[in-house]
């Protein structure tokens, strides 16, 4: 009799080793992991992949697949704080000098993406200020060569979730700090919130109406379409 590699139908995120979570996103991801584990294990068993490669066990093969899936499903990058090519400090610009977020991230008012400001925006001030700074000289060199500065992206939603900055900033009047945390205190930008589905839904449920009177939606099709 062959070995049944399928997981029981009642397998849950907890029984399969996924981290338990109280938010909706964590529960959904856990359920998807559990179901995906069942499908992969069933496929591996039915297709004879177990033991198919010489010199390694089929169980090891499935373990590698499951581990890859488990890691790949973990989209929570809360606390992510990468080093950037330019030592730009939000604490200095947005904090000490109180430069409005929308002066640099002007796309947030009019489009889906807030965007990274072009280097020329930096030079609106720095053509006269801190000209001897090595970082300002890097920006100068990037403009002269026509080479974009390779900033490392900090905040990213998965492709299956639609988010529109203009709807939140221009229409609803949501402050940047509501999602991005106290940016004006950050010397190096980091992801303050989980940016999970539960993170968004909690805000939509707690907000009775936006600045223009619109009621935030909790319908799936508002973000997933």
pLDDT at 62: 54
Per the model's pLDDT, the better-predicted residue between 210 and 74 turns out to be 210
Residue 47: what pLDDT? Answer: 45
Please tell me whether residues 172 and 94 are part of one structural domain.
yes
Q: Is residue 96 located within the same domain as residue 199?
A: yes
The CA-based angle 219-222-225, given to 5 degrees, is: 115
101 and 69 in a single domain? The answer is: no
Euclidean distance between CA atoms 221 and 160, whole angstroms: 11
The first and second tokens of residue 65, run together, are 């697949």
104: in domain: yes
- Percentages (nearest 5) of helix, strand, coil residues in the chain: 45, 0, 55
CB 49 within 8 A of CB 58: yes
Q: Are residues 108 and 202 in the same domain?
A: yes
% of residues, the chain, pLDDT over 90: 59
> 32-41, 54-63, 102-111, 123-132: which has the minimum mean pLDDT?
32-41
Q: Do 94 and 70 fall into the same domain?
A: no
Residues 94 and 199 in one domain: yes
Same domain, yes or no, for 175 and 200? Answer: yes
Residues 98 and 157 in one domain: yes
Q: Does position 29 have pLDDT exceeding 50, yes or no? A: no
Assign 195 a pLDDT band (cuts: 50, 70, 90). Answer: very high
* Distance in angstroms (rounded) separating the CA atoms of residues 94 and 82: 19
The pTM for the full model equals 0.66
Q: Give 192-220 as a 3 state SS string.
A: CCCCCHHHHHHHHHHCCCCCCCCCCCCCH
Domain extent at residue 28: 1-74
Distances (CA, A) of 7 to 44, 62, 206, 218: 12, 13, 38, 33
| End position of a domain, from candidates 74, 105, 133 | 74
Same domain, 62 and 95: no
- Both structure tokens of 138: 């890097």
Considering the domain architecture, whether residues 12 and 65 belong to the same structural domain is answered as yes
**Same structural domain for residues 55 and 102?**
no
Tell me the per-residue pLDDT of 47-59, one tens digit each, with 9 for 90 and over: 444 444 444 555 5
Residues 181-209 have a mean pLDDT of 94
Domain total of the chain = 2
> 123 or 12: whose pLDDT is higher?
123
pLDDT at 214: 77
Neighbours of 202 (CB within 10 A): 15
pLDDT of residue 15: 33
- 201 in the same domain as 157: yes
Dmax over CA atoms of the chain, in Å, equals: 80
Give the model's pLDDT for residue 213: 73
User: Which whole number is the average pLDDT over 87-114?
Assistant: 97
Asked, for residue 146, whether it belongs to a domain, the answer is no
How far apart (Å, rounded) are the C-alpha atoms in residues 97 and 114? 21
């Amino acid at each position: 009799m062959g070995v049944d590699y399928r997981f029981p139908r009642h397998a849950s995120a907890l029984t399969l080793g996924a981290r338990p979570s109280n938010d909706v996103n964590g529960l959904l991801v856990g359920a998807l992991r559990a179901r995906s584990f069942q499908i992969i294990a069933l496929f591996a068993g039915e297709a004879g992949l177990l033991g198919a490669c010489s010199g390694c066990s089929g169980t090891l093969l499935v373990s590698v697949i499951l581990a890859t899936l488990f890691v790949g499903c973990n989209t929570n990058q809360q606390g992510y704080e990468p080093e950037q090519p330019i030592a730009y400090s939000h604490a200095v610009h947005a904090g000490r000098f109180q430069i409005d977020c929308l002066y640099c991230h002007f796309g947030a008012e009019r489009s889906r993406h807030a965007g990274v400001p072009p280097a020329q925006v930096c030079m609106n001030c720095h053509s006269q200020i801190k000209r001897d700074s090595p970082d300002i000289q890097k920006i100068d060199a990037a403009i002269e060569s026509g080479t974009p500065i390779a900033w490392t992206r900090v905040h990213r939603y998965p492709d299956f979730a639609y988010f529109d900055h203009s709807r939140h900033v221009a229409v609803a009047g949501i402050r940047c700090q509501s999602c991005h945390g106290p940016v004006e205190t950050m010397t190096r930008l980091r992801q303050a919130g989980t940016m999970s589905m539960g993170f968004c839904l909690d805000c939509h449920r707690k907000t009775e109406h936006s600045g223009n009177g619109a009621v935030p939606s909790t319908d799936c099709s508002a973000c997933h379409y």
